[in-house]
Chains A and B, each alone.
Chain A
Amino acid sequence: MPCIPPLSLLWRTILSLSLLCALFAISTPAFAHRVNIFAWVNGDTVHVKGSFSPKHPAKNATIAVTDAQTHAELLTGTTDINGLFSFAWRTLPVEHGLSITIDAGSGHRNSWLLDADAFGLASPSVNKEEAIQQEETPLRSIVREELSQALAPFYQELARQKTEADPTWKDILGGLGWIVGITALFVFARKSPKAP
């Protein structure tokens, strides 16, 4: 039987670490704790963005758009390689708002609610004067269009900060504090066994 010389601990460590690095390099699917979703209205289009973290978009995730009140499914789709999905909303019944759900597989699901206000639809007016004020003029629609386009990046950034925020030190230390507290309670409740 050929005798294989034993490797030193250092070499074993280096070998196993390089094996790990090689494996990390070849596997690619996105995976994380939870999938984030954000949707915003831009003119006639609703954009949906799915992501696992700021750098990792949720590719090929299923998007389902449903009526927020009746839960009737209105349309479905799949995100592209940037985790984006867009659809035209003018043909959809948006008066109850839309609920948009992303399913990225393996138990990763999240949803976002776009209420009726997000579509900038004028609420039914009470008197004539208001009705005139809220009448859709070409100028008004141009201004709305331009504004929504100019504000889109801000909405996106706001939502990113809200949905993709990583746990802060406060969260981590808070959780650890709870664990210490619960452990102390347990130890206190279970008195130390008496010495024989």
Chain B
Amino acid sequence: MHIAEGVLAPSILCGGAILTAVGTILGGRKLKHDQGILAGILAAVFFIASLVHIPIGVTSAHLLGTGIVGIFLGLASFPALLIALFLQALFFQYGGFTMLGVNCATMAGAAWLAGLLFHAIYPRMHTPRGFFFAGFLAGFAGVCIAALLTACALAFSEEGFVAAAQTLVLVHIPVMLAEGVLTGFIVSFIAKVRPNLLRASYNLTETYGHNASHSDT
């Protein structure tokens, strides 16, 4: 889901860059001292996740990790994924430097929205099965929204939105399920051993600058 260079019009590139810049500034301001480490770990997860190929019939697609990043970082997904995507472009030649704005806007935007979805559902869940479900939904939505946002970016290219969205969503159904299951297991595990982490991240996602309840020392 990395859009290559030369596919999109300059206006789309500018739009993506502006969205990414705004997201990075807002997200960066939300990111507190000790959450920086979590952001670094999740940036590393995203950086590596795209190397994990899931065989789909004769071919393969790769994991994204947008759901899990969004759950813990919310809007701060923007700075974390910007760094991860920059390094992917630098080391793996995925995407490209001029595409960084658009690729980051689609990936981090999907992560942020998946995070919002998760924090809307998670507080209502009280059983391990419920935690798994909330995580599954976030992981699933993270990939699905990323596919739709990428299709939005491609809407103004020759391909058009409908064709791009169809291909991208269909191809990524196995990835959505795989990430849903993976995120579900991670969330139910964290909910058991460190529920604070999920509550603390709720503050990070929702309220600006109110992190007093954060007692993770």
For chain B, residues 153 to 199, give those with C-beta under 8 angstroms from any C-beta of chain A: 153-154, 157-159, 163-164, 167-168, 170-174, 177-178, 181
Closest Cβ neighbor of A28 among chain B residues:
B57
Out of A31, A182, A190, name the residue touching B83 (CB < 8 Å).
A182
Give the total number of A-B pairs whose CB atoms are below 8 A apart: 148
Assembled-state Cα–Cα distance A32/B61 (Å): 6
> What chain A residues lie within 8 Å of B54 (beta carbons)?
24
The answer to whether B43 touches A106, judged by C-beta atoms less than 8 angstroms apart, is no
Question: Smallest CB–CB gap between B22 and chain A, Å?
Answer: 19
Question: Smallest CB–CB gap between B77 and chain A, Å?
Answer: 14
Prevailing SS type, chain A contact patch: mixed
Assembled-state Cα–Cα distance A24/B175 (Å): 9
Out of A171, A182, A190, A193, name the residue touching B91 (CB < 8 Å).
A171
Interface centre among B59, B150, B153, B173 (most CB of A within 10 A): B59
Assess whether A47 is interfacial by the CB under 8 Å rule. Answer: no
The answer to whether B44 touches A107, judged by C-beta atoms less than 8 angstroms apart, is no
The answer to whether A167 touches B92, judged by C-beta atoms less than 8 angstroms apart, is yes
Assembled-state Cα–Cα distance A25/B56 (Å): 6
The answer to whether A167 touches B4, judged by C-beta atoms less than 8 angstroms apart, is no
The answer to whether B91 touches A52, judged by C-beta atoms less than 8 angstroms apart, is no
> What chain B residues lie within 8 Å of A32 (beta carbons)?
59-62
Residues of B at the A interface (CB closer than 8 Å) are 1-8, 31-34, 36-37, 39-41, 43-44, 47-48, 50-51, 54-62, 83-84, 87-88, 90-95, 150, 153-154, 157-159, 163-164, 167-168, 170-174, 177-178, 181
14 contacts between A and B (CB under 8 A): A20-B174, A20-B181, A29-B56, A29-B59, A31-B59, A33-B2, A33-B92, A33-B94, A34-B93, A52-B59, A105-B159, A106-B167, A171-B91, A190-B31
